[in-house]
A = this chain, B = another copy of it.
Amino acid sequence: MRILIVNVNTSEAITEAIARQAQAVAAPGSEIIGLTPYFGAESVEGNFESYLAAIAVMDRVLAYDGPYDAVIQAGYGEHGREGLQELLNVPVVDITDAAASTAMYLGHAYSVVTTLDRTVPLIEDRLKLSGLYDRCASVRASGMAVLELEAEPERALEAIVRQAELAVSEDKAEVICLGCGGMAGLDEKIRQRTGVPVVDGVSAAVKMAESLVQLGLSTSKTRTYAKPRPKRVIGWPAQFGR
């Protein structure tokens, strides 16, 4: 089985980290292909960048010319998943959803710890639209930007741990979701520090994608995610930025 995992950021370093984490948890027969969009923001932290990433992710997946069995969109709280679901016949898994739906098996309520405060409303909104918000105790910002996660790993870890601890003590979270594709790999450290299960969305998404493929399930083509109707579309397939 081949799974495409698409970064929403144009940072190659993040793509590599995500793909590495994905491969680490993948089943023996699963091949992970990390993809970086051809255009968009180096790091996605807001609505404009997220909308641009939405299109860039669709563009990048369509440009991939081999066969594949599932697609993972590796951005936390980003736009675009519904578009991929329309365009593709294989299952599509967003790491925001995967982390949340996995966390709900582990505790009565979960919190998300993400990067900047400005991304909190995006994550909350995506969880609401996905129908996975009811058991969300809080979405908290560590104050670390996406690119700082890699540049200052020590400080990032402390900032994330601190918010995770507050989520447990103040918001009554029983599980923590790592709210950024770039946090992949921190789960074990944060679990040790907080004592609660920590869910990394990339890992959760890989298992969910594998499960769907193994069960022979894919996106319903009735109504919402039906194929786009044939029509004149200017500028697509995009060579935006190419």
Task: Report A207-225 residues with CB < 8 Å from chain B CB.
Answer: 207-208, 210-212, 214-215, 217-220, 222-225
Within the complex, the shortest CB–CB distance from A44 to chain B, in Å, comes to 9
When chains A and B are docked, how far (Å) is the Cα of A101 from the Cα of B226? 21
B-chain residues with CB within 8 Å of residue A85 when the two chains form the complex: 47
Docked-complex contact B231 and A41, CB < 8 angstroms: yes
Asked whether, in the complex, the Cβ of B106 is within 8 Å of the Cβ of A132, the reply is no
Q: How far is the CB of A110 from chain B (nearest CB, A)?
A: 9
User: Are the C-beta atoms of A197 and B214 separated by less than 8 Å?
Assistant: no
Q: Does A48 contact B (CB under 8 A)?
A: yes
Contacts of A145 in B (CB 8 A): 229
State in angstroms the CA–CA spacing of A218 and B52 once bound together: 23
A74 within 8 A of B: no
A219 to chain B, nearest CB (A): 6
Inter-chain contacts of A87 with B (CB < 8 A): 48
A132, A212, A224 interface centre (most CB from chain B within 10 Å): A224
**Interface size (A, Cβ < 8 Å)?**
93
A80→B50 CA distance, assembly (Å): 10
A interface residues, Cβ below 8 angstroms from B: 10, 25, 27, 38-43, 45-52, 54-56, 58, 79-80, 82-83, 85-87, 91-93, 97, 101-102, 104-109, 117-118, 120-122, 125, 128-135, 145, 168, 172, 174-175, 195-197, 199, 203-204, 207-208, 210-212, 214-215, 217-220, 222-226, 228-229, 231-236, 238, 240-242
Could you list 5 further interchain pairs (A-B, Cβ under 8 angstroms) beyond the known A47-B85, A79-B79, A107-B220?
A10-B234, A48-B86, A51-B79, A132-B132, A236-B241
